[in-house]
Amino acid sequence: MGGHLYRALVRDAAEPADLDAVRTSYDRVADNYVAMDVGSLAAVPWLRAALAAFADDVRELGPVLDVGCGPGIVTAHLADLGLDARGVDLSPRMVAHARRLHPGLRFAVASATDLRLDDDSLGGVLGWWSLFNLPRDVLPGVLGGFARALVPGGQVLLGTHVGDGDLVRTEAYGGVPVTWTTHLWQPERLTALLAGAGLEPVAELRLPVDASGNPQVLLAARRPR
């Protein structure tokens, strides 16, 4: 992924050590994830509507980065909505699928903890149900990096699982062995973290329990103009 947005999309010593296990786990499940069509937007009109609203708001502001893009479903959807959308993911196997399925788009292997984004370089950033594995003390720094990368008026769109506490996963997507923790978040706490990063609220969409067994929330926040 070329261009001035990225300064060394590589792992460094700042990356939390437990992300090694997360990376390996997502590499293991990637083939089943794609075969099972996980993350399809076909049956979720409210999420498609949220993405359309996001696209309308940021289309003229600059590129959009889908952080934790998996096989690129949402990245491609945003591109179809007219955005200059790119994706990054911790898992090399997920990125390989994204490049195969969407050869006209740009994808790179990178951790959300080490993106090294240029300031004022993006119109939008997505964390589309892709940041819940990050340790709680790491997420504020990641959101701060997103905020600095946004141009004035640019937006973060963040989706995650709602609840209290943590869920330790040992298998997923067809019984494949995994090692990761899903950190549940209350919307109010996430809103406070976004505000702490200097972002102002735009919208909040609360969704009922899905296949994960937890309610869901989608939050949009913008860098003040």
Give the residues across from 111 on adjacent strands: none
User: What does the pLDDT read at residue 16?
Assistant: 53
Please state whether the predicted TM-score (pTM) of the whole model is above 0.85: yes
Residue-range domain boundaries for the chain: 19-222
pLDDT, residue 211, reads: 77
- pLDDT tens string for the chain (225 positions)? 333 333 333 333 334 558 899 999 999 999 999 999 999 999 999 999 999 999 999 999 999 999 999 999 999 999 999 999 999 999 999 999 999 999 999 999 999 999 999 999 999 999 999 999 999 999 999 999 999 999 999 999 999 999 999 999 999 999 999 999 999 999 999 999 999 999 999 999 999 998 778 999 999 999 999
- What CATH class does 19-222 carry? alpha beta
Whole-number pLDDT of residue 1 = 30
